[in-house]
Amino acid sequence: MAATAETAQLMDAVYRNQRHIYDLTRKYYLLGRDLLIERLAPPSGAHVLELGCGTGRNLISAAQRHPDARYYGIDISDHMLETARRNIEKAGLADRILVSQGDASDPAAADVFGALSFDRIIYSYTLSMIPVWREALNAGVSRLASGGRISVVDFGQQDALPRIFRTLLFAWLRSFHVSPRAEMETVLRSLAEQTGYSLSFTSLYRGYALYAEIGSDPAELYSPATK
């Protein structure tokens, strides 16, 4: 609980002012989010959960693109949720999107919504900010409905980009308490094996971003040929 409170205070401090320009600025470098939203394809009546929903940008975009589902978001920052609720209300989607304050690494955080499981669970540039990111992935898997799918988009390791770009980007990200996870593919693969799910994992934009899906139906998972 102490660690959760400390993280909440840190995130509130980071985003107290940034939240007002977050969506305007992040669209230029949080790449791959629209691919994730396009790929969601939730079945009619599905429940979609975003762990680390921030300003609600992804939930709003997904609800507009896939109108036959209900959407839920968890974020540890009260400041970000204040902005999310305002954005959701402005978009006229308060009847289909609910958000709540909570720790993404706690499976019980989503209990507030009443749904026991979710057909789609998404992590969009949030695992690189969560200190206990492995626990956050486990929390998502524990709430995944049978036949459901988890989608992850985040910073990659910049493998095919100039070294100076990688050095400068990582230094800049550290100032926002962001740490791209070099072990992401290994952890996701191990998690898929432990749970009996299949994994698709690919690099986007010469390694700038990574995109992954975990699910029970390999035929439905993403492959680079579908880009």
Range of the domain at 179: 2-226
Provide, rounded to the nearest whole percent, the portion of the chain with pLDDT above 70.
86
Q: Looking at residue 69, which CATH number applies to its domain? A: 3.40.50.150
Mean pLDDT across 219-225: 87
Token match 């979710």: residue? 118
pLDDT of residue 53: 95
Give 224 or 43, the one with higher predicted confidence. Answer: 43
Q: Give residue 61's pLDDT.
A: 96
Ordered DSSP codes for the chain: -HHHHHHHHHHHHHHHHHTTTHHHHHTTT-TTHHHHHHHH-PPTT-EEEEES-TTSHHHHHHHHHSTTSEEEEEES-HHHHHHHHHHHHHTT-TTTEEEEE--TT-GGGGGGG--S-EEEEEEES-TTT-TTHHHHHHHHHHTEEEEEEEEEEEE---TTS-HHHHHHHHHHHHTTT----TTHHHHHHHHHHHHT-EEEEEEETTTTEEEEEEES-GGGS--GGG-
User: What phi, psi does 97 have (nearest 5°)?
Assistant: -125, 125
Residue 41: its pLDDT value, please? Answer: 94
Domain total for the chain? 1
- How far is residue 52's CA from residue 220's CA, in Å, rounded to a whole number? 24
Give this prediction's pTM: 0.86
- What are the pLDDT digits (tens) for 69-116? 999 999 998 888 999 999 999 999 999 999 999 999 999 999 999 978
Lowest-confidence region among 20-24, 43-47, 185-189, 203-207: 20-24
